[in-house]
């Protein structure tokens, strides 16, 4: 486990904000998925803020993306933001810009 990984959680009436901090590895991916499962069903939107990540390790990224479908059945919108949003988000959740 990346010992410096943290998830800062902020909730309001309709949204859950998860601010990822540190290094994202396989254990971090599992922790993020479990956090979403634990809180997500009661929220309309979940924002995953990625700018606090210093590194995303390939196994963590792949593990998260491959297991994202386990939370995909929530009726909650999951929105990725920040510098690493497109790197961490599963393909179907990426924001594409340009022509």
Q: What digits encode the pLDDT tens for the residues 38-67?
A: 887 778 889 999 999 999 999 999 999 999
Q: What is the pLDDT of residues 62-84, one digit of tens each?
A: 999 999 887 766 677 889 999 99
For residue 80, which of 4, 24, 3, 42 has the smallest C-alpha distance?
24
What's residue 96's pLDDT?
A: 46
Domains identified in the chain and CATH numbers: 21-90 (3.30.750.24)
The CA distance from 49 to 32, in Å, is 12
Contact 10, 47 (CB under 8 A): no
């Amino acid at each position: 486990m990346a010992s410096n990984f943290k998830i800062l959680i902020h909730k309001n009436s309709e949204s859950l904000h998860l601010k990822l901090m540190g290094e994202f590895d396989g254990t971090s991916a599992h922790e993020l998925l479990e956090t979403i499962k634990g809180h997500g069903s009661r929220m309309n939107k979940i924002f995953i803020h990625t700018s606090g990540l210093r590194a995303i390790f390939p196994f963590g990224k792949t593990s998260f993306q491959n297991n994202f479908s386990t939370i995909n059945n929530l009726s909650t919108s999951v929105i990725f933001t920040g510098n690493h949003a497109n790197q961490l988000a599963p393909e179907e959740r990426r924001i594409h810009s340009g022509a």
